[in-house]
Amino acid sequence: MKKVTLIAAATALVLGLCFTGASFANDANGPAEITLESTIDKAKKAKPAVFPHAKHQEKLTCGDCHHSKDADGKQVAYVEGQKIEKCESCHNKAAGMPDKLSTFKDAAHANCKECHKKTDKALAKCTVCHPKK
């Protein structure tokens, strides 16, 4: 009986460590799904976007979407391991970005919608990212 209990405890410990490791690995890559919504330049009629982050990670690299900025405010390419800030920390009306990138919504549409148009025009429909409730 002690042997069975010992084996069960050891198995539980190993499985627990495996699942803990898996959850840490997922945290390093960000959440599997994200709801994108502006908190700075709120739209009159907000339309949050459902973003399947994990699904995009299967096909793209972090640098395909993420970037940073230098001291002059110029875009700098993503560097592996860099801290990823919220897009709207730079893409907001007060930041002085060009019009087509001046809000989080504008930047997302420029990046996401254009990529969707190139890969599959059906993915560029509004309801793909903004599903009706």
Binding positions for heme c are: 53, 56, 62, 65-67, 112, 115-116, 126, 129-130
Q: Which residues contact 102 (CB under 8 A, 6 or more apart)?
A: 91, 92, 93, 95
Which secondary-structure segment (H or E) carries 127? helix 126-129
Q: Which amino acid, 122?
A: A
Which secondary-structure segment (H or E) carries 24? helix 2-28
Cβ contact 25:76 at 8 Å: no
